[in-house]
Amino acid sequence: MVKTAVIAAAALGLAGSVGGGSTEMSTAFAARASAQGTPQVSSNWAGYAAVAPTDTGASFDDATATWRQPKATCTSGRTDSAAFWVGLGGYSSDSQALEQLGTEVDCRGDGTAPRYSAWWEIVPAAPVTIPLKVAPGDTVAAAVLVQGQTVTFSMRNLTRKTRFTKRVAVTQALDLTSAEWVAEAPSICSSSNRCRVVPLTSFGTVTFTKAALTGNGHTGTIADPAWTATPIELIADSQTSPFFGREDPLGPGVGAVPGDLGADGRSFGVTWQQSVTPPGP
């Protein structure tokens, strides 16, 4: 069964500099792969999603991971971004919410150094930048926990020995039907809700480790048989997501591909590629 997922743009620090009045909003990806366990294809997500079988009614309330902030390579004349996060929800075709926490890097394309930051977001609200310094090579540990209508975001920069915690009480319905570990090309949207995926920054490889989640009181790894782990490949869609009206100077197939899960079931890498070939039908 072909899936469609509603997903959110990560905190994009470039919003104010690209188009008048632009803001970050949710967008969608069309998955082209069909079988469980085979790669889904997205125009802006790469990583893994864990989804419980539909007959179990499982509800996820905790997702965690650790990763090392990769160093970006900026390209002159190319405005791009990459976000790395852990989250709950946002994978199903009818999802209207996503709770996520992560780091990002932004390149302005003007020869200036890339900018690194951290953020949290509860879709459909806008992302919020958090006061936690992040630099290339820093190792961060992040967790998203939901208890009733309270979402707790926790991030530690293990390299700098700093910590951030934010508890947010919400009235909206939350999506707890999936958990994700993702490298993302964020989206930028105009005030008229027209969105485009920002080109994905060249980040080399980001490796997620110590990934875990809890569903219906059961805690396990991504590979736990209690749910299905689905890899997601990111391939830029030049038809619907042009580089702000012009061709991407790095070519039409820029994307990112996740590797296999490690033997521990809780680690994997996502590698940026200039030309990604879509998986077979």
- Strand 228-235 vs strand 40-42: parallel, antiparallel, or unpaired? parallel
- The predicted-structure confidence for 213-226, as pLDDT tens digits, reads as follows 999 899 999 999 99
The parent domain of residue 232 ranges over 4-273
Q: Is the dihedral of CA 250, 251, 256, 260 positive or negative?
A: negative
On whether the CB atoms of residues 124 and 96 are closer than 8 A, the answer is: yes
Which range (28-32, 151-155, 213-217, 237-241) has the least confidence? 28-32
Which residue did the predictor score with more confidence, 254 or 68? 68
Q: Tell me what pLDDT residue 192 has.
A: 66
Residue 114 has pLDDT above 80, yes or no: yes
Higher pLDDT, 43 or 140: 140
pLDDT of residue 251: 65
Domain count along the chain = 1
Residue 13 confidence (pLDDT): 29
β-partners of residue 29 are 5
pLDDT in tens, 172-217: 999 999 999 999 998 877 666 667 788 899 999 999 999 999 998 9
Q: Is residue 57 part of a domain?
A: yes
Whole-number pLDDT of residue 26: 33
Which has more pLDDT, 148 or 28? 148
C-alpha–C-alpha distance, residues 199 and 168, integer Å: 31
Question: Which phi and psi (to 5°) does residue 17 adopt?
Answer: -105, 0
Residue 25 confidence (pLDDT): 33
Q: Kindly state whether residue 241 falls inside one of the protein's structural domains.
A: yes
The chain-wide mean pLDDT, for the chain, equals 81
Provide the pLDDT confidence category of residue 265 given band limits of 50, 70 and 90. Answer: very high
Instruction: Check residues 152 and 8 and name the one with the higher pLDDT.
Output: 152
- Is pLDDT at 263 greater than 50 in this prediction? yes
pLDDT score at 196: 78
Q: Report in angstroms the alpha-carbon separations of 28 from 67, 102, 172, 195.
A: 25, 19, 20, 10
CATH number at residue 205: 2.60.120.700
Q: How confident is the model over 263-272, as a mean pLDDT?
A: 97
Q: Is 235 part of a structural domain of the chain?
A: yes
Q: What is the pLDDT averaged over residues 91-112?
A: 88
Lowest mean pLDDT among 23-32, 134-143, 163-172: 23-32
Say if 251 falls within a structural domain: yes
Label residue 168 by pLDDT band (50, 70, 90). Answer: very high
Q: How far apart are CA 9 and CA 81, in angstroms?
A: 11
Peptide bond into 249 cis (omega under 30): no
| Least confident among 113-117, 218-222, 236-240 | 236-240
Look at residue 11 in the predicted model and tell me its pLDDT.
Answer: 32
> What's the mean pLDDT in 226-235?
92
Q: Quick: pLDDT tens for 1-14.
A: 222 233 334 332 23
Domain membership of residue 280 (yes or no) is no
278 lies in a domain? no
Classify residue 113: in a domain, yes or no: yes
